[in-house]
Structure 1
């Protein structure tokens, strides 16, 4: 029996989500169509709204509805500190740990040549420009302790060396291979407090 084209399209569209294979996408589609029309409509409208209104902050590159996000506009943050993280989830984890009061730059990824992700894809040109704004004094590298995260931190430290900035890396209170969004707040706070300068 052939399924309707629109159903095939919905199943295929759901497969773009990370970790969602053909069977999971099929179950989701059937659930939304059979049991949760209101949820499906809310999902469709929220997604359409987000696509039309959410952009990248001009300063930190995080998601926002404004040109400059609320965090970057805050007068309570230490404008001389810039923390570089891979993803918005990492920024949220840093904020939940209450261990850092500076500014951020979100790369939206990490260097991964095998996946075709180079310096341009993670906006390193914008990061260098931001770090040289005359206000930033220290750049805290808080990329994940994965092979790609370490390579990204090393690449950034090389880019920013000789720019008159203090470059630090969060301490290895985090497990090797661990990712910030999956670490408890106490471990993350300890890692930030024990950050060290990269020589």
Structure 2
């Protein structure tokens, strides 16, 4: 199309989640049309992030410091830990401003097909915090998938032996959702997780 450098740029962009070959070509074209304003600042920002960003040894979040800003924040509730699958899940909860405690990023879920076992999950820091006596409740906020449910069950069993309170996020009908468009699994979860109506 326009040389190996352009092909390589498109190829690298196409590897990003949500960008296929066509979207990658459009993004590359937008960057190349204004290299001084878009491409070079992006390249510098990516290089700086690659050098500065690290994984928090306490929770698994990504930040420029270790422990991360969330773990270092004295205003956060240290007795409440929300367990999530990925950093993206943590960022989503933070964006929604719904959790004021700490987090534990597992880095995945148990998956027999994917070859992910208990030793592959980042649970050691969570159990270390519990053993130190700092945690009163663990919220399991894993996806409503087979692997998420398996991981929730496995982790729930291990946490039960520690004596801390264990809860999980609700699953079911989303706000604004119509019953006739939901799948069978979501409807079943919604009915199983029903609670008394507030009148």
Category of TM-score, reference length = shorter chain: 0.7 to 0.9
Alignment match, 2:13: 14
- Is the 8 Å Cα contact of residues 60 and 87 (structure 2) preserved in structure 1? no
**Superposed CA RMSD:** 2.5
Cα distance change, pair 34–75 in 1 and its aligned pair in 2 (3 A):
closer
Q: TM-score of the superposition, structure 1-length normalised?
A: 0.75
**1:28-107 alignment, distance < 5 Å:** 28-107=27-106
Shift of residue 76, structure 1, vs aligned partner = 1.8
- Is the 8 Å Cα contact of residues 59 and 125 (structure 2) preserved in structure 1? no
How far, CA to CA, are the matches of 2:115 and 2:18 in structure 1? Answer: 20
Cα distance change, pair 33–117 in 1 and its aligned pair in 2 (3 A):
farther
Shift of residue 121, structure 1, vs aligned partner = 4.0
Q: Which runs of 5+ in 1 are unaligned?
A: 176-193
- Per-residue Cα deviation, 1:132-152 (whole angstroms, up to 9, x for no partner): 332112111111223332222
Cα distance change, pair 12–116 in 1 and its aligned pair in 2 (3 A):
farther
Give the greater-gyration-radius structure (CA): 2
- Is the 8 Å Cα contact of residues 84 and 105 (structure 2) preserved in structure 1? yes
Alignment match, 2:182: none
Q: Which runs of 5+ in 2 are unaligned?
A: 175-192
How far, CA to CA, are the matches of 2:98 and 2:8 in structure 1? Answer: 45
Cα distance change, pair 120–36 in 1 and its aligned pair in 2 (3 A):
farther
Shift of residue 97, structure 1, vs aligned partner = 4.0
- Is the 8 Å Cα contact of residues 82 and 131 (structure 1) preserved in structure 2? no
How far, CA to CA, are the matches of 1:131 and 1:137 in structure 2? Answer: 8
Work out which structure has the larger RCO, using CA pairs closer than 8 Å and 6 or more positions apart in sequence. Answer: 1
- Is the 8 Å Cα contact of residues 13 and 24 (structure 2) preserved in structure 1? yes
Alignment match, 2:183: none
Shift of residue 43, structure 1, vs aligned partner = 1.2
Q: TM-score of the superposition, structure 2-length normalised?
A: 0.75
Cα distance change, pair 139–50 in 1 and its aligned pair in 2 (3 A):
same
Cα distance change, pair 25–61 in 1 and its aligned pair in 2 (3 A):
same
**1:90-129 alignment, distance < 5 Å:** 90-129=89-128
How far, CA to CA, are the matches of 1:15 and 1:95 in structure 2? Answer: 28
Shift of residue 64, structure 1, vs aligned partner = 1.0
